[in-house]
Structure 1
Amino acid sequence: MRTPDKSEMSQGEVAYATLLEAIRGGVFQPGDRLREEDVATRLTLSRTPVREALRKLESDGIVEHRPRLGAVVRALNHTEVVELYEMRLVLERTAAEMAAKHAIAAEIDELEELNEAIANAVADPARAASINQQFHRCIYLATRNRFLLESARALNNALMLLGPTTLADEARITVVCRQHQDIIDAIRNGDAEAAGASAEAHLQTSLRHRLSVMRG
């Protein structure tokens, strides 16, 4: 299904899409207060569609209403983060296994290029995080399974609520790229079992690092 262009959207839909992009891009972080006037000014929108967008984001579970504060970007607690990663682990292990069976050479080459780009973005954590998302999406696309891809998309809202990227230093990026390479090698070799095991190890490491960041 084609994604509508913003010129085809209502003002409320444009405000929703713009605010969603801002949250996904880290302009607004979990825990940030979203005052209508401030959001409208920052995103160059009028207040009425912003109000409509905030209501929709609240129904999506991305924004919550707090007494005396109003709309706030929702933040996941420890239990929710663990549950989210448990679900990601199931999906990404399955995706890696299926990609090992179905990925074509061009897709595997793209994974190599994306992983190299992550390594080269060590000075720009936001860019590294964006490329990392592309890397994982590429694996899902290589599965040739639309239902698995849709299940991954359903996690997108929750993933936005994890907060700042953990790809904030060279040591962390080195670990991530090495684990990505293990996944790529297994996919290139058509070894579904190794691909799944590598994907699981990667997610387990990511969860441990995420929880460590949360503990401060």
Structure 2
Amino acid sequence: MKPAPTDAYSLILEAIDLGVYKPGDRLVESDLAERLGVSRTPIREALQRLETQSLLTRDGRSLIVSSLDHNQLAELYVVRAELEGLAASLAARHATAEEVAVLRDMVEQDRALVGNPGAMARANRRFHKQIHLASHNRFLVQQLGLVHRSMALMATTSLAAVGRDSAAIAEHDAIVRAIETQDTAAAREALQAHISKAFVTRLKLDSGEVKSTI
């Protein structure tokens, strides 16, 4: 089925998020239109929007996928840890029984994805998004959406590091247990620790200290 024109922004963002287009890659309007099956007008509008959000950078007359330097990466993780921790704390207070059940099911189902970094990364995004929604705070959800769009600028997922996927599942389990028991402080602490460990892994990947499986 041909995607609706209004999907152009989401399609390009998803392609960046999945690593189809990596930092430094040049995005050509005509190529994107053909690849995504969308006319050039919505593609042009989507590219302008992504440039405004700093996800694309102007290089002469061309647009390339932006990249994050070390300081920007550190700043992003600081903000993410604070906002994600707040979301977990609010989820522990406000999540419905059904929302908690969905989070628990995600953890159990995701165990089968260990060893598949791409699938784990997608599952990880779903898990965090569910926590954001369970916070029942629309303004926080909006801000976390901005943060996660910037996360798409990372060339690889930290879950590609050897052993990181199994550790992440255990960390997700601890987060859900805290939410299940409505322990707001423990939920915040568990999620912030999870983000901190992901950041350490990211730095080790970038330095070559740990190996990637992809």
- TM-score scaled by structure 1? 0.85
Please name the residue that 1:174 is paired with: 166
Deviates more, 1:123-132 or 1:34-43: 34-43
Q: 1:177 to 1:65 in 2, by over 3 A?
A: same
Q: When the two structures are aligned, how many residues end up with a matched partner?
A: 206
Q: C-alpha deviations, 1:21-61, integer Å up to 9, x for none?
A: 32223221222121233323322344454344322321221
Q: 1:135 to 1:49 in 2, by over 3 A?
A: closer
Please name the residue that 1:53 is paired with: 46
The root-mean-square deviation of aligned C-alpha atoms, in Å, is 2.0
* Percent identity for Structure 1 against Structure 2: 38
Distance (Å, rounded) in 2 between the aligned partners of 1:50 and 1:186:
43
> Once superposed, which parts of structure 1, at least 4 consecutive aligned residues long, lie more than 4 Å away?
46-49
Tell me the SS of whatever aligns to 2:63: strand
Distance (Å, rounded) in 2 between the aligned partners of 1:149 and 1:100:
15
Amino acid at match of 1:162: M
Q: 1:80 to 1:169 in 2, by over 3 A?
A: closer
Correspondent of 1:154 among 146, 152, 158: 146
Q: 1:79 to 1:143 in 2, by over 3 A?
A: same
1:54-133 matches, within 5 Å, as 54-67=47-60, 70-133=62-125
CA contact (8 A) 2:161 2:201 kept: no
Distance (Å, rounded) in 1 between the aligned partners of 2:191 and 2:8:
36
Q: Which runs of 5+ in 1 are unaligned?
A: 1-5
Deviates more, 1:196-205 or 1:95-104: 95-104
Distance (Å, rounded) in 1 between the aligned partners of 2:142 and 2:95:
18
- TM-score scaled by structure 2? 0.86
Amino acid at match of 1:30: P
Q: 1:123 to 1:99 in 2, by over 3 A?
A: same
Q: 1:31 to 1:186 in 2, by over 3 A?
A: same
Correspondent of 1:15 among 8, 16, 28: 8
Please name the residue that 1:28 is paired with: 21
User: Could you tell me how far 1:170 is from its partner in structure 2?
Assistant: 6.0
User: Could you tell me how far 1:142 is from its partner in structure 2?
Assistant: 1.4
Q: Which runs of 5+ in 2 are unaligned?
A: 209-214
User: Could you tell me how far 1:169 is from its partner in structure 2?
Assistant: 5.3
